[in-house]
Amino acid sequence: MNTLPTETTPLSIFLVENHADTLKWLTMYLEQMGHTVRSATTLGEAVEALPKADCDVVLSDIGLPDGDGWELLERAKLPHPVFSIAMSGYGTGADQLTSRAAGFRHHLLKPFNLRELDKLLAAAAAELAQSK
Amino acid sequence: MPSAPSLPDENAAILRKLTAALAEERARCERLEGGIRAAAEREQQRLAQALHDTISQSLTGIHLMAEVLARKHAATAPEAAADLAELSEIILGSTFELHRLITSLRPPLEP
């Protein structure tokens, strides 16, 4: 069984998720890992808050009540690219291509093992360290 | 070879009418079939969306909860944590099954 990883680079994560339980448990996990989490539950809220969040990673659900997460990166008009991960219950090739085209580096199929998320966050941290 | 006898004008007119009526009826059947197919696809899409928005989302949340708790208690309560991890895997398997069903119901995305 996996335990909480002991060596984690703390990241500032902007989480967009409209499902209350998923948001709660994902936030709890990420905070336990030492990350800072800011969140939004709708596309509109995310578009408004993301540019001011100055985050290292965007972790966004695709199915949102007022639109889809694929619109987020374009509409938020970020001053610089951010390591972005899409989360969706749909994972066909077309879904993954759409995520890539929308600027997401990875398309995480829900439900996912936390190991998968850990790997992606480790990649984000490594990339961030290289860019500094 | 002898040529086919020509029909009397009256019979030819009846035949033309019947042929036209048959073509019209065939076109009506095709429109109906198209309508039924489109309605069935809309219903499948609605069902896929409903399954995704309700049961799938809940299972995803429960799976995440079980996995987070399993990791959290791994050091202090390893037996309970192992049970939670097992539960998490079972939920994961069920959710993947559900997603396969949802994907089969959902029309393909436009490229």
- pLDDT tens, position by position, B5-43: 666 788 889 999 999 999 999 999 999 999 999 999 999
Of A1, A28, A32, the CB nearest to B82: A1
Mean pLDDT on A31-56: 96
Quick check: B99 and A91 CB within 8 A?
Answer: yes
- Of all residues in chain B, the one with the smallest CA distance to A114 is B67
B66 closest CA partner among A18, A90, A21? A21
Of A32, A95, A111, the CB nearest to B72: A32
Write down the pLDDT at residue B102.
87
Write down the pLDDT at residue B2.
62
Q: Hey, what are A114's tokens?
A: 């936390």
> Contacts of residue A59 in chain B, CB cutoff 8 Å?
none
Is the link from the previous residue into A5 a cis peptide, with omega within 30 of 0? no
Q: Give me the interface pTM, i.e. the ipTM.
A: 0.79
Element holding B80 (H helix, E strand): helix B78-105
Write down the pLDDT at residue B111.
46
Per DSSP, helices labelled H in B4-77 are 9-51, 57-72
Min Cα–Cα distance to chain A from B79, Å: 11
How far CA B94 is from CA of A85, A103, A109, A120, B19, in Å, comes to 24, 31, 14, 24, 56
Q: B111 — contact with chain A (CB < 8 Å)?
A: yes
Helices and strands of chain A, counted as H and E runs: 5, 7
Of B59, B68, B103, the CB nearest to A111: B59
Quick check: B106 and A90 CB within 8 A?
Answer: yes
Please tell me the pTM assigned to this model: 0.79
Min Cα–Cα distance to chain A from B71, Å: 4
- What average pLDDT does the structure give for chain B? 88
Residue ranges of E strands in A7-116: 12-16, 36-40, 57-61, 63-64, 67-68, 83-88, 106-109
A116 closest CA partner among A91, A79, A81, A82? A91
- The type of residue at B99 is H
Of A26, A89, A114, the CB nearest to B56: A89
